[in-house]
């Protein structure tokens, strides 16, 4: 099925064994700008998993955008030994490694000491997303930046990496020079098309000379920045054609979006609401216009989708970043007839992008070993097999059961309802969230493969415990909804779980009292608005969805704006009576009154199912995980289930 994906390809002087590459993405696994053992282990796991090419996260290269606390720093020779070690570790598995170089220009949200740093760009055009006014880069500094790129590329070559990629996309420095909307210079780097291209062209020409002809050189570009004043796609194609005529490059890599505005940023790390493989058509446009190989990445999480991109001639290689975070064995699995066993990425952005932007090491809500490869190395059998009873079939319990079985234990999973999945069953019912159900689809397949015994419609009791005689019990009984303790008179007040399940009638005029500020309030507001209800969403945070990863939240708020949902922040639910809902502003403490209300939907804190009288006076070791300890998210449930079983 995947003949095209498994074909080798030449990118300049380097032959890549298959057509899947791991695109650049931040990991927060470096330290003080240097390569670390966790970073090496992270990439080696993907090389071992069969990926054809790894392109490392963007490395900074000049003091004007250094930030060694957040990025690998290629502006110093100190990087070379660690980078050489990383490249060698991946080449053990026949996976070449390229390094990517970038400068953010005005797109700066970091600080060295808490104060706002000076930023430099082509011009002083204000940045809409970061609210930065950059200093127009002096001419001499532009030439200095060019040399910094070249010298950084030389260091990567000295470290014996297989290639270098220049990031010229997503609204960062080079694209700020290319785009006439952000470049109003009047010197040799501004004005005409040729002048605006000069920065990139000089970097590419001099880099090729520096690294020689035995290293691959590519550039990453964006044809569609998804904002009104973004780069014109036809001009980007013209830029690529000019670079191809210069004949210094070996490939072009296409991505979407820009850091310059929230709408563009959503498409840099597209959440599940964005269609799969949405960048492929952009890559096809470029491929028709150039002869060099074209690479593409952007919301591609299944091998059949990647194969279709190749067979339809839209691109020559396909990048799967988050898919490889979710399952480093992605390539090995589809190449050996086990595509159904791939743990598919669901585009939630929670532990991958979310961790990175919060300055924590990258991971995955489905695969906690990602980013923790040294702590949790390849699967190991326990020294002694035990009988493990897992009580509760939500994602945490399922992950615990799978992990315990993979460690060689005998495992029984008991679930009181007629299906596995817990709250994920609710989450996937909401608009644009069906893919979230992939968490359960993936875990169900893993349970099948691991041989876990599953009892549904079963309440745990002494008889079950005696018959199985567990040495370890993992309690993953989750949580249940509850309503806030306020006076509501005869007002129709219901909890969010019942609304999502569809087992309660809802009036036309709805108020959502959103304590949680997560997927439930946003999702219910969208779902009911699409059904024709008049919806007001009042949340306890500074913005609806405040508890979600920012890109997911921002995309969702945009959908609610299009639906004309009224959104009010800092609102504490105070009570209700006779068609009126009362809230209190959480900072001014003034009343917020909603009249003409038929139904109030409460997204309030659930309550842990932490009463387990059957667990008293047992000889078995007992671990309690996930919402059964404290209501949180799928990430914590799966992580704790994994850790609990790993420790047995």
Mean pLDDT, residues 30-43 taken together: 98
4 pLDDT tier (thresholds 50, 70, 90): very high
Q: Is the pLDDT of residue 1 over 90?
A: no
**Those residues with Cβ within 8 angstroms of residue 354's Cβ, 6 or more apart along the chain or in another chain:** 549, 550
pLDDT of residue 380: 80
Strands (E), 384-533: 387-391, 410-414, 453-455, 472-475, 479-480, 492-495, 509-514
Neighbours of 610 (CB within 10 A): 13
pLDDT beyond 80 at 282: yes
Residues 143-193 have pLDDT tens digits of: 999 999 999 999 999 999 999 999 999 999 999 999 999 999 999 999 999
C-alpha dihedral sign at 309, 349, 18, 254: positive
The tens digit of pLDDT for each residue in 71-127 reads: 999 999 999 999 999 999 999 999 999 999 999 999 999 999 999 999 999 999 999
Predicted pLDDT of residue 164: 98
pLDDT for position 378: 79
Can you tell me the distance from the alpha carbon of 415 to that of 392, in angstroms, rounded to the nearest whole number? 5
Average pLDDT over residues 21-27: 98
What is the arithmetic mean of pLDDT over 244-257?
98
Domains belonging to the chain, first-starting first, are: 9-357 (3.20.20.70), 387-480+632-646 (3.40.50.720), 492-605 (3.50.50.60)
Q: What is residue 71's predicted lDDT score, i.e. its pLDDT?
A: 97
What pLDDT digit, counting tens, does each position of 307-366 carry? 999 999 999 999 999 999 999 999 999 999 999 999 999 999 999 999 999 999 999 999
What average pLDDT does range 33-38 have in this prediction?
98
Residue for token digits 């079939």?
A: 393
285: Cα within 13 Å, side-chain hemisphere: 19
pLDDT on residue 297:
98
Q: What is the pLDDT of residue 379?
A: 74
Q: What is the pLDDT of residue 113?
A: 92
- pTM value is 0.97
Dist. CA 225–CA 468, nearest whole Å: 58
Q: For residue range 544-588, what is the model confidence (pLDDT) as tens digits? A: 999 999 999 999 999 999 999 999 999 999 999 999 999 999 999
Structure tokens given for 97: 């490694």
**DSSP summary character for residue 127:** P
User: What is the rounded CA–CA span in Å between residue 421 and residue 427?
Assistant: 10
Give residue 616's pLDDT.
87
Return the sign of the alpha-carbon dihedral for residues 313, 317, 321, 327: positive
* pLDDT surpasses 90 at 388: yes
pLDDT-derived band at 443, boundaries 50, 70, 90: very high
Task: Name which of 2-6, 545-549, 576-580, 613-617 the model is least confident about.
Answer: 613-617
What is the arithmetic mean of pLDDT over 376-389?
91
630 band by pLDDT with thresholds 50, 70 and 90 = very high
Following DSSP, what letter does each residue of 348-383 receive, concatenated? --TTTHHHHHTTS----SS-TTTT-TTTS-S----S
- What average pLDDT does the structure give for the chain? 97
Mean pLDDT of 616-633: 95
Q: Which of 637, 641, 538, 536 is nearest to 591 (CA)?
A: 538
pLDDT tens digits for 485-532? Answer: 999 999 999 999 999 999 999 999 999 999 999 999 999 999 999 999
Q: Could you tell me where the DSSP H helices lie in 54-112?
A: 80-91
**pLDDT, mean of residues 450-472:** 94
Percent of the chain's residues with pLDDT above 70: 100
pLDDT tens, residue by residue, 392-436: 999 999 999 999 999 999 999 999 999 999 999 999 999 999 999
Closest C-alpha among 531, 528, 550 to residue 541: 550
Can you give the pLDDT at residue 617? Answer: 84
């Amino acid at each position: 099925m995947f003949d095209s994906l498994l074909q080798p390809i030449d990118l300049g002087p380097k032959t890549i064994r298959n057509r899947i590459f791991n695109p650049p993405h931040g990991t927060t696994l470096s330290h003080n700008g240097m390569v670390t053992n966790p970073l090496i282990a992270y990439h080696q796991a993907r090389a071992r998993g069969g990926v054809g090419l790894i392109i490392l996260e963007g490395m900074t290269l000049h003091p004007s955008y250094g930030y060694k606390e957040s990025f690998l720093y290629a502006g110093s020779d100190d990087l070379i030994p660690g980078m050489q070690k990383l490249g060698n570790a991946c080449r053990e598995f026949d996976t070449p490694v390229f390094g990517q170089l970038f400068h953010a220009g005005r797109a700066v949200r970091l600080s060295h000491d808490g104060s706002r740093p000076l930023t430099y760009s082509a011009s002083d055009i204000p940045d809409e997303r970061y609210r930065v006014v950059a200093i127009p880069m002096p001419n001499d500094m532009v030439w200095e930046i060019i040399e910094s790129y070249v010298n950084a590329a030389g260091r990567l070559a000295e470290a014996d990496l297989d290639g270098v990629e220049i990031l010229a996309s997503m609204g960062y420095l080079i694209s700020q020079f290319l785009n006439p909307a952000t470049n109003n210079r009047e010197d040799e780097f501004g004005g005409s098309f040729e002048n605006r291209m000069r920065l990139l062209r000089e970097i590419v020409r001099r880099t090729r000379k520096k690294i020689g002809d035995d290293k691959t050189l590519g550039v990453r570009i964006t044809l569609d920045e998804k904002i009104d004043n973004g780069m014109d796609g036809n001009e980007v194609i013209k830029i690529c054609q000019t670079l191809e005529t210069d004949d210094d490059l070996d490939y072009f890599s296409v991505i979407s979006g820009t850091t310059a505005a929230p709408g563009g940023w959503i498409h840099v790390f597209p959440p599940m609401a964005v269609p799969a493989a949405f960048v492929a058509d952009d890559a096809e446009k470029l491929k028709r216009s150039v002869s060099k190989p074209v690479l593409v990445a952007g919301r591609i999480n299944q091998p059949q989708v990647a194969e279709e991109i190749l067979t339809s001639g839209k691109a020559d290689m396909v990048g799967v970043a988050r898919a490889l975070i979710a399952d480093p064995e992605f390539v090995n699995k589809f190449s050996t007839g086990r595509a159904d066993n791939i743990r598919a990425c669901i585009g939630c952005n929670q532990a991958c992008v979310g961790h990175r932007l919060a300055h924590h090491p990258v991971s995955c809500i489905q695969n906690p070993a990602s980013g923790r490869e040294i702590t949790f190395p390849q699967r190991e059998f326990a020294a002694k097999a035990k009988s493990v009873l897992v009580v509760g079939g939500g994602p945490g319990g399922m992950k615990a059961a799978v992990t315990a079985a993979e460690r060689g234990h005998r495992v029984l999973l008991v679930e009181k309802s007629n299906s596995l999945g817990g709250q994920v069953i609710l989450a996937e019912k909401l608009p644009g969230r069906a893919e979230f159900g992939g968490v359960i689809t993936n875990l169900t397949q893993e349970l099948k493969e691991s041989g876990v015994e599953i009892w549904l419609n079963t309440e745990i009791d002494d008889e079950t415990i005696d018959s199985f005689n567990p040495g370890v019990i993992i309690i993953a009984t989750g949580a249940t909804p509850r309503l806030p303790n306020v006076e509501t008179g005869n007002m129709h007040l219901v909890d969010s779980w019942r609304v999502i399940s569809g087992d309660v009638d809802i009036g036309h005029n709805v108020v959502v009292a959103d304590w949680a500020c997560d997927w439930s309030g946003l999702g219910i507001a969208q779902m009911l608005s699409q059904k024709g209800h008049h919806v007001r969403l009042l949340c306890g945070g500074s913005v609806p969805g405040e508890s979600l990863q920012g890109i997911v939240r921002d995309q969702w708020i945009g959908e609610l704006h299009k639906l004309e949902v009224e959104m009010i922040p800092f609102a504490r639910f105070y009570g209700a009576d006779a068609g009126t809902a009362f809230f209190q502003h959480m900072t001014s403490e003034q009343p917020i009154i909603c009249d003409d209300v038929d139904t109030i939907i409460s997204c309030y804190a659930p309550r842990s199912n932490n009463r387990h009288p059957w667990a008293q006076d047992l000889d078995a070791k007992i671990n309690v995980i996930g919402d059964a300890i404290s209501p949180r998210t799928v990430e914590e449930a799966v992580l704790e289930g994994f850790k609990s079983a790993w420790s047995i």
